[in-house]
Amino acid sequence: MISASAPASAADSGVVEAYGHRPLLFLAGFALFWLVISGFFALVAGIQLHAPAFAAGCSVMTHGRVVALAETAFVYGWLGGIGLALTLWILARLGGEPLRAANWIVAGAAFWNLGVALGLVGIAAGEATAIPLLELPLPVQPLMLVAYGAMAVAGVLAWTGRRRDVMFASHWYAVAALFLFPWLFSIAQVMLLWFPVRGTLQALVAGWYGQGLWTLWLAPLALTAAYYVVPKASGKVLPSYDFASLGFWVLLFVGAWTGGRHLIGGPVPAWIATIAIVAAATLLFHYAIVWVNLRHAHGAGVPLKFLGFGLSAYVLGGVLDALTAIRGVAEVTQFTYFSEAQHQLAFYGAISMMLVGAFYYALPRLTGRPWAWAGLVRAHLILTGIGVVALVIGLGGAGLVQGTDLNNPAVSFAEIAAHTEGWLLLATAANVILLLGNVLFLINFFKSALCPFYAAAVKSYRGEAALEAAR
Amino acid sequence: MTPNDPTFQPAAQTDEELLNAHEALLAKQPDDRAHYKLMPLALLFFFSGLILFAATYLNRYSGHFDKTIYDENALPTDHNVEVKIDPVVFGKQLFASSGACVTCHQASGQGVPGTYPPLAGSEWVNGPDERVISIVLYGLQGTVHVTSKSFNAAVMPSFGPSGFNWSDEKIADVLTYVRQEWGNKASAVTADQVAAVRAKDGAHTAWTEPDLLQIK
């Protein structure tokens, strides 16, 4: 048990019960479930890239729908759910008070996950929108917005009601994520779906939303967790913490301006691409500061291994964004599998890995007992580590081959497909490994988080029964 | 339970210690006995370099923030520039456009024997400018003799005011194209010539062969 482990953590876990762990476990459990679901669809989508006839007879399994299903389950189901659960927990810990408005979290989490489920059914039925990262069918979106708001209430209360008037880096990123997602999500809904803007502006708003979702929501969620767990686990003060706020503001101000990088080489006025290139370069400063601040993430222990991996992927992704934004490079990489590799590096390698690391740290403090199986934790670490590297290398290699071939008019489409096949097979193998790792993760979670409740329920039932018998 | 137990990561500091340690770092004032820490020099140079790059690049490749400039190397131009169009190229597009000349006269200019007269080698196409302009502007009905064959089955529609309502430029360009294609060797037709015919005949109805032959 935790109280027997270390003096510091004994003091640390005394308030476990008070933080209202059940709503957060409820939210996190669904998130893990969506992670496995999205892994399944990602695998199907990956197979279809080198075997186009795979599941082609089934309308639900057509490539466009499967890609949208995988992406939606991953971003809104998994990253959003786990990110929010960790952010609420960290805000409560730093506030030093029990989590308030827990009912709001339960209601919000129920409707958020209902929204994800309905959204996936809608997408499978062919009702997806045509906007990347916003494929959720239109009627579901307001529900998701309200559900998110309900959960965010608890976060805002934990922040405003903190015991000491101190702001730590995790506070900045957490509050930014809580407030900026509703803003991004509602504006994108109105401008793209309810009253769609027309022409070039539509592509621009879609690019802004896709990039904003990453820089203004997912990255802050992951950094909230990283800035909290790294010093907690390493015991060290963050190096050059004085400049952490500069890194934060650079991300907030410059981040969304990089949205236009998705349109470099596309039919937009030149200045939009130019601004995006400049923003992508300036954002390197944010990545440099995060790297300097969190360099102790590369330490011992499973949470830090995940966080260190995620941090490396985060910074590498930022450097790649800046490099591929350069027009000469974008000429080859843009609109190929290479963009997909960058996407996976950012969403899977960086955000997901950091959140998993923080969750490995958090769960024993939510349940009051360690993870059930050490072997599954190690297996998950190894499998996801290999899986993400293989996925990014596979897609990246395919993208470079594809981009070079596309620029050569002598090469036909059929030849390009043949040239990329080996790389795409590697990516599919990676998807298999990742799915396997995440299934183990889910099993371990069920055993660690739900069995204690079950055991306690059985125990109390038997206790009552024994009492009855004694009378 | 060892420190490297994968099932549980012990906390190395309490939340209170974490907040205090980092609060202390930010609380330092610049004049607090020189305890103020400068940004590491490498980071400062890096940031300055990025800003320099950003400003230079933005200035050089902004396209003056003009919504009509798609090439980052281009400079803004006067938007009322007249664009020179090759009448043969544009005429060919018009000829082949849906529902226009190509439908009856065919891409080969040979028409359909017995139904639609040919344009290739036609004495009408290669004849006086005003005649051929009149045919396209107002149309032609009744029997017509082309390359000593008689055609009576079809009607030539008007591309002028009572039909497709093409502009003078369009009619001039399509005629210029037809009059130099398939071995035809007649002079180009200008928009001014078409405008003159239009002004002279106003709302004329479709022409017939005998009336057309009056035009010299």
Contacts of B52 in chain A (CB under 8 A): none
| B108 and B196 fall within a common domain | yes
CA distances from B195 to B124, B125, B171, B179, B202 (A): 20, 19, 10, 18, 10
pLDDT at A278 over 90: yes
| B23 and B92 fall within a common domain | no
B164-173 contacts: CB < 8 A, separation 24 or more? B164/B99, B164/B100, B166/B94, B167/B191, B168/B192, B168/B194, B168/B195, B168/B198, B170/B90, B170/B94, B171/B133, B171/B136, B171/B137, B172/B87, B173/B85, B173/B87, B173/B88, B173/B90, B173/B91, B173/B94
Residue A357 in contact with residue B6, Cβ under 8 Å? no
Contacts of B64 in chain A (CB under 8 A): 271
Give tens-digit pLDDT for B84-122.
788 888 888 888 887 788 888 888 888 888 788 888 888
The domain locations on chain A are: 20-449
- Please report the sign of the dihedral spanned by the C-alpha atoms of residue A293, residue A297, residue A298, residue A300: positive
| B34 and B124 fall within a common domain | no
| B103 and B23 fall within a common domain | no
Range of the domain at B92: 87-214
Count of other CB atoms within 10 angstroms of residue A197? 14
Yes or no, beta carbons of B47 and A371 under 8 Å apart? no
* Cβ neighbours for A362, distance < 8 A, ≥ 6 positions apart: A86, A89, A229
CATH of residue B117: 1.10.760.10
3-state secondary structure (DSSP) of residue A471: coil
Residue A424 in contact with residue A398, Cβ under 8 Å? yes
Contacts of B22 in chain A (CB under 8 A): 168-169, 231, 237-238, 241
DSSP code of residue B144: E
In this complex, the residue of B8, B13, B23 whose CB is nearest that of residue A232 is: B13
In this complex, the residue of A8, A166, A327 whose CB is nearest that of residue B23 is: A166
Which is nearest to A234 in space by CA: A170, A301, A174, A289?
Answer: A301
Residue B12, both tokens: 């190395």
Pick from B65, B95, B124: which residue ends a domain?
Answer: B65
- Beta-bridged to residue B140, according to DSSP, are B156, B207
Yes or no, beta carbons of B4 and A4 under 8 Å apart? no
Give tens-digit pLDDT for A194-218.
999 888 888 899 999 999 999 999 9
Residue A148 in contact with residue A181, Cβ under 8 Å? yes
Give tens-digit pLDDT for A412-452.
888 988 899 999 999 999 999 999 999 999 999 998 887 76
- Whether B9 maps to a domain, the answer reads no
- Whether B135 maps to a domain, the answer reads yes
| B38 and B142 fall within a common domain | no
| B167 and B203 fall within a common domain | yes
| B38 and B107 fall within a common domain | no
CA distance A439 to A50: 24
- Whether B72 maps to a domain, the answer reads no
- Return mean pLDDT, chain A: 88
| B23 and B96 fall within a common domain | no
Give tens-digit pLDDT for B143-157.
888 887 888 777 888
Give domain A20-449's CATH number out of 1.20.210.10, 2.30.30.240, 3.40.50.980, 2.60.40.10: 1.20.210.10
> What is the number of residues in chain A?
471
Rg of chain B (C-alpha set): 38
- Whether B54 maps to a domain, the answer reads yes
- Whether B152 maps to a domain, the answer reads yes
- Whether B95 maps to a domain, the answer reads yes
- Whether B162 maps to a domain, the answer reads yes
The structure's pTM equals 0.76
Query: Is the ipTM beyond the 0.90 threshold?
Result: no
* Cβ neighbours for A334, distance < 8 A, ≥ 6 positions apart: A264, A265, A266, A324, A403
Query: How many domains would you assign to chain B?
Result: 2
Residue A31 in contact with residue A42, Cβ under 8 Å? no
